[in-house]
Amino acid sequence: GSEMCIRDRVRTLPDVDESYPDTLVGAEIPEYIAREKADAYRTMMQPGELLITADTIVWMDGKVLGKPEGREGAIEMLRALSGKFTASSEVLFDVLSEDEILYYVDRYRPMDKAGAYGVQEWIGYIGVKSISGSFYNIMGLPIQKLYGELKKL
């Protein structure tokens, strides 16, 4: 098989509005935000360039766990996830002790992460019992799915 070789450049556009209509549910939310990001970049694109945007949410019990507000918000989110799961790629959390939650929040500062956790960090090693679906999707970009779409081009 041939290896896929792509020249890529990561560009960050500051201050893309990540709010969304409150009528959206589940997967509609990250799809909407990814489209908003794409619209913001469109003017910067050069001929022959392909733009890939992505967004991640944690959806639990019919609502979004977004980026937590401060240390207390992160602690609350991890307490809510403890012993539960999130869907699409399904993540089953083991029961997290209060000490484990406090250690993770204070050491890793997950305030920039949906659901207040990074599956590839310490919390994932000790707290995630099982994953059904794409690990990379949980990290933020479903690479295998993306590769399949790129091959079609």
Which amino acid, one-letter code, is at 42? Answer: R
Q: Which helix (H) or strand (E) holds 59?
A: strand 58-60
Catalytic residue among 55, 61, 94, 112: 55
Active site residue 99: no
Residue found under tokens 């207040």: 116
In sequence order, the 6+-apart residues with CB closer than 8 A to the CB of 57 are 29, 30, 64, 65, 66, 114
Residues carrying an active site annotation: 55
